[in-house]
Amino acid sequence: MTNRRIVLTSRPQGVPRPADFRIDTAAIARPGAGEVLLRHTWLGLAPAARLRMGEEASYREPMALGDVVYGQAIGHVVESQAPSLPVGTAVMSVSGGWQEYSVARAENLVRVDESVAPANVWLGALGTSGMTAYVGLLDLGQPREGETVVVSAASGGVGSNVGQIARLKGCRVVGIAGGEDKVRHVRDQLGFDAAVDYKSADFAQALTAACPSGVDIYFDNVGGAVRDAVWPLMNPGGRIVVCGLIAEYNDSRQGGPGWFPILSKRLALHGFIMSDHLHRQPEFLRDMAQWIQQGRIHIQEDVSEGLESVVPAFIRMLTGKNFGKTVVRL
């Protein structure tokens, strides 16, 4: 019995290509004391993995060539050296990786409660994407009732939750997404107050029209030209949560907007990484589970099947072709 896994074979230049990865097989590792062996049933893909494929150090070390690609996984315990997690327990691992099996320390795993939501939702709204939205919006954005919140990549795993949580907090929420289908989804299924298509020719004017009172919080998942269109609309005292720069991952040398508004409008910009805020997980799980059970958070996932579909799904996500949180069933 072997472990099939996806390893990085070359550092992507720009958008990753299938040839940058390879599926190989390796012996299944055995758990040591305090560890468990997981058999993965779902993988969750996130743009952050792209960051670690480059040579530049970001908030984590870059991956080495030959490493299994970093990512979230859901699995069942198939061998346990940790009394707290007996065989058969369903868990979520933030760093299970793009493979069929992984070994993890028990304290780094989250128990998956399928009475709250199906296992795959623990990769999205109840997983890293949902917690990223929750912590970034509430702790760093600090929304107040009646404020205008703009979120980019609004139909994606993080953005869809940012907008819905902001609505629950009484904000006017404007989503930015690419294409008429996503715009309609964001407005009609997710219940945003307005949604704007960044691919349309009149994007900047449409965004301005959708924000008649300016923008108090911009939750940025993309950077680049979309960010530049939001920038002049920021209100005095505005906050920008820098959660992702997906438009810039393929070229981290792009410039940013001038700083004059930072001064004149006393803006606050916060780069953030969810893993710095793990202490908020209990409140997050309590609130988000409640909202899901009350039907106040709409779940949308982009589901593929099989390890072979992981790389194509990842490339689709990085080029904006996904629809909701990107997950792969194994």
Which stretches of the chain bind a copy of itself, using CB under 8 A? 51, 56-59, 223, 227, 236, 242-245, 248, 252-273, 276
Quote the CA–CA distance of 5 and 273 in Å, as a whole number.
26
Q: Which is nearer to a copy of itself, 57 or 201 (CB)?
A: 57
CA distances 12 to 54, 55, 139, 159, 199, Å, are: 7, 10, 34, 25, 25
Buried residues in 180-215 as b, exposed as e (16+ CB within 10 A) = eebbebbbeebebbbbbbbeeeebbebbbebbeebb
Please state the closest distance from residue 215 (CB atom) to a copy of itself, in A.
15
Residue 265 near residue 99 (C-beta atoms within 8 A): no
CB of 269 to a copy of itself, least distance (A): 4
Distance of CA 230 to the CA centre of its chain: 21
Cβ proximity to a copy of itself: between 28 and 242 the closer is 242
The least CB distance from residue 76 to a copy of itself, in Å, is 34
In the complex with a copy of itself, the residue whose CB is nearer, 159 or 244, is 244
Give the separation between CA 146 and CA 169, rounded to whole angstroms.
9
Q: What is the smallest separation between the CB atom of 57 and a copy of itself, expressed in angstroms?
A: 8
Q: In angstroms, what is the minimal distance from the CB of 96 to a copy of itself?
A: 23
Instruction: Kindly state the smallest distance separating residue 58's Cβ from a copy of itself, in Å.
Output: 4
Question: Shortest Cβ distance from residue 142 to a copy of itself (Å)?
Answer: 13
Q: Identify whether the C-beta of residue 7 lies closer than 8 Å to the C-beta of residue 68.
A: yes
Q: What are the tokens at 329?
A: 């069933």
For 172-223, what is the HEC assignment? EEEEEECCHHHHHHHHHHCCCCEEEECCCCCHHHHHHHHCCCCEEEEEECCC
CB-based contact 93:73 (threshold 8 Å): yes
**Which C-beta is closer to a copy of itself: that of 168 or that of 262?**
262
Nearer to a copy of itself, 117 or 241 (CB): 241
Closer CB to a copy of itself, 115 or 264, in the complex:
264
Give 32 or 256: the residue with its C-beta nearer to a copy of itself.
256
In angstroms, the CA 29 to CA 33 distance is 13
